[in-house]
Structure 1
């Protein structure tokens, strides 16, 4: 059986594989949002609607990367504080810039005649903004996805970071705990589906609802990322593929039984997690152009700001009066958004992300030092 251990000499290639998956994730997300902007692009939307699975791919790779950088993290106060500081300085600076930036974007775009506003200025209440500043919007429905477009995933991920040291401690006691936690989530999920069906509430929620965005609904995806790391490291990757595939088939079967598309928002995260694990195997065996790797390195900035470029492209098309048809216009828009957001993100990555990640690492290392320091230096740009 092949050796997938990160302790091997091809470590740099493995780290590149992580960036390649991040690149694929952000391209899927952009493709999805471009498709949403062109409701008449019938052919393109057949494919683009599945681009939303890029978020779950981000979640799987985030958990996987955290395990690589923090698998030796002890469960004590200093180590936990150091971990939280690094995560905060990785995520917060760009997100705070987005909170301010999207406020002015909403204000400006709402005053452009004929243009659709990007964001709603009314949503910027003190509680909505405060929940986002404190990264508690994953627990507060009004502020969950109303300040920064796509911000729900950041809130969900920050809550996962809060639990991560504890989850790592459990896996060190026994890897079986990970399966037990996953089993509990699956049991609760299907108990919820059954109870809802029996009480006539089948289909309550949806893919744009707080229930879908909530960590409890997305947690199986993160847990699959952790499982992927441990199986990968112990040369049992094929086993996790088998386990994940069976779990995916069972989930799909139960999904069909409990009402087809009515519950797709509940079934989607774990199934997307399974697909992400399978995709990880495929991408790890492919040597991809360095441009793709570069996209992965700046994928966080691209995720935060690509909405602005989607709006800009649509507005330029509207003002130009060009009539290329919905499908061609969507393809051109996708290319424009990818190139523009990538170039912009190269700047924000260099001026904001890298300096603040370094500050966070230095602060954390002042609190706690150990093997994790070297591991964090190898992957400084995980999302």
Structure 2
């Protein structure tokens, strides 16, 4: 939900300059993988004690800082679809993948796999949009996903 709070400020600041979204996504991803996650993992693992490493890792994985680069790439993808792709877009994505791979190997963060899954899914979405492939159930899910996210806790509680 934090992204939806930050999103209006990001759009206001960056407008349709998709390369800024990608540059920020790369910078945040590298800061997260190389600096923040190792530091936070050590700190929280010490705080929670032995046996809670998986909990700490999962919490850091779903953190806003870890998810924000994917949302920023989504913003860049939107403007690329609207305005047309350029060779510079492909070059920036190639740099992003290469830097993420190097950071992953240097830190052992396993975030490269997560990034690649999201980039491949984004490419599939872009391909479906460009080729006008339609799937009404998926479109309905997309239109309603945020309200489903907000209400799923109540549904789960009610089912108990």
Q: CA RMSD in A?
A: 3.9
Over 3 Å counting, the alpha-carbon distance change for 1:243 and 1:273 in structure 2 is farther
TM-score by length of 1: 0.31
Shift of 1:248: 2.8
Q: Is the 8 A contact 1:255 1:267 kept in 2?
A: yes
How far apart are the structure 2 equivalents of 1:227 and 1:188?
A: 20
Q: Is the 8 A contact 1:182 1:220 kept in 2?
A: yes
TM-score by length of 2: 0.62
Q: Is the 8 A contact 2:74 2:122 kept in 1?
A: yes
- Please list every run of 5 or more consecutive structure 2 residues that lacks an aligned counterpart in the other structure: 46-55
| Alignment map for 1:1-383 (pairs within 5 Å) | 154=1, 156-169=2-15, 171=17, 176-192=19-35, 196=38, 201=42, 205-207=56-58, 209=59, 211-236=60-85, 240-241=89-90, 243-259=92-108, 263-264=109-110, 267=112, 270-284=115-129, 285=131, 287-306=133-152, 308=155, 312=159
Partner residue, 1:22? none
**Which structure shows the bigger proportion of residues in helix conformation?**
2
Instruction: Report the number of matched residues.
Output: 147
Shift of 1:286: 5.4
| Larger relative contact order (Cα-Cα within 8 Å, sequence gap ≥ 6) | 1
- Please list every run of 5 or more consecutive structure 1 residues that lacks an aligned counterpart in the other structure: 1-153, 316-383
Which of 1 and 2 has greater Rg?
A: 1
Residues 230-265 of structure 1 show CA distances to partners (whole Å, capped at 9, x for unaligned) of 322332167535532552354234323422xxx23x
